Every structure is written in structure tokens, then in C-alpha cells.
Amino acid sequence: MSRKLSLLCTMGALWLALLPPAPAESADSASELLAEARQNFGVLPKDMSTAEFPITPERVELGRKLFFEARVSADGTVSCSRCHLPALYGTDGLAKALGAHDRVNPRNAPTVLNAALQFKAHWRGDRLNVEDQAKQALIGPPSFGDPDYAIAMAKLKAIPGYVQMFQKAFPGESNPVTPDNWGKAIGAYERTLVTPARFDQYLGGNVNALSDHERNGLRLFIETGCVACHNGPGVGGTMFQKFGVTEDYWKETHVSNPDKGRFDVTKDPADMYVFKVPTLRNVAMTPPYFHDGSVRTLPEAVRIMAKVQLDKTLTDNEIKDITAFLTSLTGKLPDDFANAPVLPPAAFEAHASLK
């Protein structure tokens, strides 16, 4: 465990110790809560592969290296891991991520952990899945910043060793170093980045895996209505929803230039201020919050969501208990994510068209 994570855990334990006693819970009430939680959240999948996107050791090994590979980007500084740092639970701690040449991304970088659980990728759902997101990031100006796929693949082929790794990961293909296979390899790796947490132990029947405050927070999470959008194994990531159902969201987040969300993708007035509901797994470790990174703390995010989505004003103790429940969604980092791989040795060289 890193020194930073150890300190965070210690601070979290001290914070929970200062909470007032949680209401006593009867055996019947505890059983009802567990049954309701199982119904709303289900079981975290152990295998995230699909027929279209199989997970093979060769693809995962290649995808892990590509995830940390920056020399393919326009300026040699951007990899997937730049915006999805292991030390910050797959985020970057910035309100809005920075891409090649420090171009500002229009939105906050969500965690890559458990990303394959979600039905779409990106805040506006304009990426089909983790494979599509990885592929399109290559030519995204605020991402890798390459002007076209051909340039990105030429730089990749120039790094010794990658051609052979692609051949092993995609046997039988005459030219396996393609943008599609880049996305499939990184996608295979990202599909392994699942983080079981104490909450999953609770769903498995170990009621004591959650503290009294955490169970009370879970009950409030359900009864308040948060679960209407944040459901399924990812505790979110299953639907689109308007941000600001009962009042304009920016009145509470204090942003001066509101993001119009999916409207800018579809041009459908019904999609104004509509965003993908994010997963809440590891949410205690991934500030700042919301699509624009406008809120710095989790308790404040909980307060705002209850107000602008559900027209409810939570008490301080209710916010503390819901926040306590959300800490139970923090899982252990996968070893092959926490530790970066050794990449093939080669110096970065800008493509001739970019010099």
C-alpha cells in the first residue's frame, strides 16, 4: 500500500469514528436491506469478455503495455495512463484532463477502473465501449492528438517489439498493427480492471462487511432514490440522465458556462444537459466530481445530487452516512494496474509531417 493511500485510509477511519452512533438494526431489517441491495445491484461479473471482445493473455499483455505507451502520441507525453493514473484510482485529479501539447479536454477524466461495466463510454456516451474509446483517443486533439491513424500506427511500428506482440495477440492477420487492434488490445486489458470491494462481500452474504453507518447509508441511498439511476453491478453506468431534474445543475456547482451534454452530439432538444450516469465504484478515491470536475468533495457531491436530481435536502448526518456507504465501494487496485510494465526501449521521434 502506498504512503498516500495508507494516509487516506487512516483519515477515513478517523472520520468514521467521529460519526454519531447509527440506528440499531433488527435482524429482519438487516435481511430486508440485503435482499433489496441484491435486487438493485446484482453480482459483480468475474469475466468481462464478450464474443466480440475476447480476453486472451496475449491481448491483455499487449494492451497493458499500450495503455502506458506515450510515444505514439503527437508530442510523446500522452498515454492512457496520463489521464488514468493508478495512484489516483484511474483518474488524474484534474477538473479537466490535459492531452497532447497540454490541450484541455472539455470534460473530467472518469476512472478507467470497472469502465467495461458501463453501457457506453464517455460522459456523453459518444463512444460505444472501452475499445472504441481507446481507438478514437489516438486522433482526439485533447487526447493523443495524432492527425490521423496512419501516423499513429507508423510510430507504433517504429518501436521495436510491438509488431511481434501484435502478431501474437492477433494471429493469422497479415497486418495486425491497426487502430482497431490497438483498441481491442487496450480494451482487453481494461476489461480485467475490475475492483471487488467490501460491498461485494456484503452482497455475498457477509452483513458485517459493512459498518452500521455504511449499512444505514446504503438504506438511505435506496430510500432517497439515488438507486433509481445508480444501480447494477457498477452502481451506475447503465443509462443516460438529465443533470438537473428539479433545478439547473450549475446553480449548485457554480459553473459559468454549462455543458449541454448529449445535445451537442445528437442535436435533440430532449438531450439538453443529459449525461451518462457514472459508476460510483471507487468514487471516494476519484475527486473532483461531475463531468466538469466542478465539485471537490464527495459529501458536497452527495448533497448536490439529492437536491438537483431528487429535490431533497439531506441533513448533515444523512450525507455522512451515504458518504460512508460510498467508501465501501473502494476496491483493491489490480496488481497489473498498480505496477506499470516495462516498455520496449526506443526514443520518441515525431512523425515527419509533425516536425
Give which of 81, 78, 67, 133 is closest to 102, Cα–Cα. 78
Tens of pLDDT, residue by residue over 249-308, are: 999 999 999 999 999 999 999 999 999 999 999 999 999 999 999 999 999 999 999 999
- The DSSP letter of residue 263 is H
Residues shown for the chain: 355
Could you give the CA distance from residue 68 to residue 58 in angstroms, rounded to a whole number? 16
Q: In the chain, where does DSSP find H-type helix?
A: 3-17, 27-41, 57-67, 80-83, 130-137, 149-157, 162-169, 179-190, 198-203, 212-224, 250-253, 263-266, 298-310, 316-327, 335-338
Name which residue leads in pLDDT, 305 or 6: 305
Tens of pLDDT, residue by residue over 302-336, are: 999 999 999 999 999 999 999 999 999 999 999 99
For position 12, what pLDDT does the model report? Answer: 53
For position 351, what pLDDT does the model report? Answer: 77
Tens of pLDDT, residue by residue over 54-76, are: 999 999 999 999 999 999 999 99
Tens of pLDDT, residue by residue over 16-43, are: 555 556 555 667 789 999 999 999 999 9
Return the CATH architecture of domain 57-194.
Answer: Orthogonal Bundle (1.10)
Could you give the CA distance from residue 244 to residue 252 in angstroms, rounded to a whole number? 10
Tens of pLDDT, residue by residue over 216-257, are: 999 999 999 999 999 999 999 999 999 999 999 999 999 999
Tens of pLDDT, residue by residue over 71-128, are: 999 999 999 999 999 999 999 999 999 999 999 999 999 999 999 999 999 999 999 9
Residue 296: Cβ within 10 Å count = 11
Averaged pLDDT for residues 125-141: 97
Q: Is 178 helix (H, G, I), strand (E, B) or coil?
A: coil
For position 41, what pLDDT does the model report? Answer: 98
Bridge partners of 240, per DSSP, are: 276
Angle between helices 57-67 and 162-169 (to 10 degrees): 140
For position 1, what pLDDT does the model report? Answer: 45
Q: pLDDT confidence of 5, banded at 50, 70, 90?
A: very low
Could you give the CA distance from residue 237 to residue 147 in angstroms, rounded to a whole number? 31
Could you give the CA distance from residue 226 to residue 258 in angstroms, rounded to a whole number? 23
The superfamily CATH assigns to domain 3-41+198-327 is: Cytochrome c-like domain (1.10.760.10)
Q: How remote is the C-alpha of 241 from its chain's centroid? A: 17
* Segments making up each domain of the chain, as ranges: 3-41+198-327, 57-194
Q: At residue 9, does pLDDT exceed 80? A: no
Domains 3-41+198-327 and 57-194 agree in fold? yes
Task: Note the pTM of the prediction, 2 decimals.
Answer: 0.91
For position 181, what pLDDT does the model report? Answer: 98
Q: At residue 141, does pLDDT exceed 90? A: yes
